[in-house]
Copies of this chain bind each other. A is one copy, B any other.
Amino acid sequence: MKKNVRQLLMIPGPTQVPVEVLLAGAKPMINHRSKDFKAVFEYIIKTLQKFFQTKNDIFMLTSSGTGAMEACASNIIQPGDKILVATIGNFGNRFAKIAAAFGADVEKLSFDKGKPVDVKVLKERLAKDTKKEIKAVIFQQNETSTGVLNDVKSIAEVVRAHGALIVVDAISGFLAADLRTDEWGLDLVAAGSQKAFMVPPGLAFVSVSPKAWEVIEKTKGTSFYFNLKTAKEFAPNGETPWTPAVSTAFSMQTALKMLEEEGMESIFDRHRWLRDAVREGVRALGFKLMVEDDKYASPAVTAVIPSEGIDVEKFRSQVRSDYEVVLAAGQSELKGKIFRIGHLGYCDQKDILATFAAIEMTLKTMGYKVELGKSVKAVQESLLSKVKVAA
């Protein structure tokens, strides 16, 4: 028998979506080559430019975030080009594969899981590239698989000094953490609708700097679907080259209005505030945080290493079946070793409180040692101590 219980989606995307945004996506269909769509398109791009903190071109793609990564790679890579991927996890590794698929000579600069890119190491590597062979450096703003927030500003500084293109996969961290496209000189930035934008998946976004355009213009590029030169031709008419996900664009329009009203700084504060509460809750459970250093703790997702002896996948399944609280699994070799709590987008303090209460009760039901209320109290204290930040 299916119980009528609201599900609490605590994964790092797709996130929960406000009903207003869901219903905006249910508006009647319109022609994607019309003044109606043009108005939606132009509002989205203009508002994204604010949130990307950029004057650069921004393009809207109908795809998942991985499509935006493919757009970045395929538009700048010619076979044989040297690309450096500074990877700290699964999504860094994915970007390396994408670059390789388009023929790049990919070098991976890998760092330990749970740690950010070591800027010193990156600097040393780039210093060795005296012939300036490295065409682009790719890295994540936020590594979703481990919950690490990179220091994008410092990484970008080092790459800028070298001269390579700066390509940032900001899909899971965008709007959860500050990202100053122009000030930090980011050439290509990828984002996706299903994260802090509070929108269903289906749209992805890429910003392109003038310096990136210089490279793109000279690059033949393989992908037809993700060709940014084609997107640039259609943009002045308020159109995408191919039929866009119109409904998701409606949702995006409504969500952006809600986010504009809240204001960017408040959105960042809110994410940090919830992150801090989650981290206190995890500590009070006696579990370990995959990211020990608060400075690099993701405001979008927290990776948790439960105490020894806890069957992580069984626990995830139980908290789902008993409370309809959905936690994310570990990815690749972290599967069964960690779980992840997404706290981005349309997530509030009530959700965090309920999640920790449910985690405690599930652990108790499963027979593990747990003090009911302890982690909830830690979450409460954290939330109250910083309430002004979010107010």
Contact = CB atoms under 8 A, between A and B. Distances in A.
Given A202-B62, A202-B202, A246 B14 contact: yes
A200 B249 CA distance: 11
A225 interface: yes
Interface in A1-57: 6-7, 9, 11, 13-17, 19, 22-23, 25-34
A97 B7 contact: no
A192 B62 CA distance: 13
A101 interface: yes
A81 to B, nearest CB: 14
Contacts of A34: 326
A287 interface: no
Contact of A29 (B17, B65, B67, B222): B17
Nearest to A36: B7
Contact of A63 (B67, B103, B251): B67
B97 A245 contact: no
A26 B25 contact: yes
Nearest to A102: B222
A93 interface: no
Interface residues of A, number: 61
A66 interface: yes
A22 B64 CA distance: 21
Contacts of A246: 14, 200-202
Interface string A223-234: 111110000000
Nearest to A200: B247
A304 interface: no
B31 A26 contact: no
Contacts of A201: 32, 62, 243-247
A26 B22 contact: yes
Contact of A62 (B67, B73, B222): B67
Contacts of A328: 31
Contacts of A251: 247
Chain B CB count within 10 A is highest, among A101, A243, A245, for A243
Nearest to A221: B101
Contacts of A192: 243
A137 interface: no
B14 A28 contact: no
Nearest to A223: B223
B28 A16 contact: yes
A362 interface: no
A368 interface: no
Contacts of A111: none
Interface string A367-381: 000000000000000
Contacts of A27: 22
Given A245-B245, A246-B14, A225 B67 contact: yes
B102 A243 contact: no
Nearest to A201: B243
Contacts of A31: 9, 11, 14, 326, 328
Given A26-B22, A222-B102, A223-B70, A13 B243 contact: yes
In the A-B complex, the 8 residue pairs with the smallest Cβ-Cβ separation, listed nearest first, are: A202-B245, A200-B247, A66-B242, A64-B242, A22-B26, A26-B26, A101-B224, A64-B243
Given A9-B30, A9-B31, 13 more contacts: A11-B31, A14-B31, A29-B194, A29-B200, A33-B329, A62-B63, A64-B225, A64-B242, A101-B221, A101-B224, A192-B243, A225-B226, A247-B248
